Amino acid sequence: MTDDKSIIERIDDLVAEEKELRNKHAAGQISDADEHARLKAVEVELDQCWDLLRQRRARREFGENPDDAKPRSADTVEGYLN
């Protein structure tokens, strides 16, 4: 992901996948365990995408190069407090 547009497109794809997983689960097409495992992975990647987008926007706001923003690890973004 190299720019805001591609990050937003990835977020849209992940949200669509999350919705599809929930629909498949509701229709009995996937198990609880399969849904849970994939949803967890999707949620973590979503958090990473949102974090990267926020980093890019903050850098831009303060006159820095948004391309210097780097994706953070799952452990880092999942460790943030709400």
Q: Please report, for the chain, the start and end positions of each structural domain, with discontinuous segments joined by +.
A: 4-78
- The pLDDT of residue 1 is 64
Model's pTM, two decimal places?
0.89
**38 secondary structure, DSSP code:** H
For 2-60, the three-class secondary structure string (H helix, E strand, C coil) is: CCHHHHHHHHHHHHHHHHHHHHHHHCCCCCHHHHHHHHHHHHHHHHHHHHHHHHHHHHH
- Residue-wise pLDDT tens digits, 18-52: 999 999 999 999 999 999 999 999 999 999 999 99
